[in-house]
Structure 1
């Protein structure tokens, strides 16, 4: 029974840390860049795909519904940060990609984001950060494999 309680305690501590950092990020983005974390996430995803992403691909990358992304994409487009490009041969499909202004704005926000995280986690050495990240990645991969096995068994 104690192993289960230890794991629940770990989960609650992880959640508390993540929620605290996320809350700070939301506030910093709002205060310093007049933006939101979901907008930052959309721009971040698009920055990693210079040729753009279809809305369904973007939703998949962000693991949210198309409806969640549509409103954000509309506002980013209205502001000239994202452009919609028709997909040749598929008149219903649209690819979203950052404009030059969008890439410039994202780079500014991303640098601020990196600085905030670096400051917030300054008590963690680079070696500890790498070890923790590797452990969490291994856990995520094992968890995903386990989930896929459960899905196939059903």
Structure 2
């Protein structure tokens, strides 16, 4: 039987060997799969839409919040620095996809919203993004996807409980 590196090429999972704990092997397999999917999405966003994953993620946050989000809220939701959000917002604003408005209650802050052009562009990207995810996970049957989804729900619950201790 081929080992992971022979089967899939070098990635983070190639660090494991037969003597490593099963939990470590599983974690690295999850990470390797996530990384491969993310790499595909990054390449496809760049090729098909001339954009990046961070820009897509910022637009997605704004699409979920039509009333807009403060820059600091965007930074927290995207788990990046305020400087990163400012740079991405500057680019998207220059392209007419987002607009800044003075914050309703904080004169030192701005709220960022999608423009009508931003809404249209994001709608196209989101539909295509969804089709990519469907394609990338098509190696599993519907039953297998449901099973993995359920197993990961249990893991997520366990992880939430362990972080509270």
Structure 2 counterpart of 1:104: 120
Q: Residues of 2 paired with 1:42 and 1:85: CA distance?
A: 16
- Runs of 4+ with >3 A deviation: none
Task: Please give the per-residue CA displacement for 1:100-146, whole angstroms capped at 9, x wherever unaligned.
Answer: 10011001111111111111111212232233223223322321332
Q: Residues of 1 paired with 2:103 and 2:21: CA distance?
A: 52
Q: What count of residue pairs does the alignment treat as equivalent? A: 148
Structure 1 counterpart of 2:153: 137
RMSD: 1.7
Is the deviation greater in 131-140 or in 43-52? 131-140
Q: Does 1:49 align with 2:68?
A: no
Q: Does 1:19 align with 2:50?
A: no
| Unaligned residue ranges in structure 2 (runs of 5+) | 1-17
Structure 2 counterpart of 1:83: 99
Q: Residues of 2 paired with 1:55 and 1:144: CA distance?
A: 27
Task: Please give the per-residue CA displacement for 1:18-65, whole angstroms capped at 9, x wherever unaligned.
Answer: 111111111000000000000000001111000010111111211222
The one of 118, 127, 148 equivalent to 2:143 is: 127
Q: Residues of 1 paired with 2:48 and 2:111: CA distance?
A: 29
Secondary structure of 1:95's counterpart equals strand
Q: Residues of 2 paired with 1:107 and 1:89: CA distance?
A: 30
Structure 2 counterpart of 1:68: 84
TM-score by length of 2: 0.83
TM-score by length of 1: 0.88
Q: Which has the higher contact order (CA 8 A, sep 6+)?
A: 1
Using a 3 Å threshold, how does the CA distance of structure 1 residues 89 and 61 change in structure 2: closer, same or farther? closer
